[in-house]
Amino acid sequence: MEALSWDEICSRNEYRGRWVALAGCRYDHTSARPIGGTVVDVDDDLVELCSRMREAGRSSCSILFCEVPEEADPIETHGSRRSGLRAVAH
């Protein structure tokens, strides 16, 4: 498993539109947005993903929804896209 940036994760077809469990998830300290981490599991169903994570003893992972990135508005500043802001604690 390799560490990826959040933008790399959201750009991959196998993660887009799905719940992603990240080990070692890093966040931007000023915006609290995810920066990246290591993908350990992924699922369309949040309950299924959380159940597998619990069974595997991975209670310290972050679980984020990887939304399809919106086209950047030319006026927006870098990092202001709303991708991946839904998170859960399990």
State the Cα–Cα distance between residues 52 and 42, nearest whole angstrom. Answer: 10
Domain ranges of the chain: 3-69+84-88
pLDDT for the residue 59: 84
Q: Which DSSP symbol is given to 31?
A: T
The amino acid at residue 54 is: R
Task: Say what the pTM is.
Answer: 0.73
Provide the CB-side half-sphere exposure for 80 (13 A, CA): 7
Convert the pLDDT of each residue in 10-64 to its tens digit: 999 999 999 999 999 999 999 999 999 999 999 999 999 999 999 999 888 999 9
What pLDDT is recorded for position 36? 96
Q: Is the pLDDT of residue 78 over 50?
A: no
Task: Check: CB of residue 86 under 8 Å from CB of residue 64.
Answer: yes
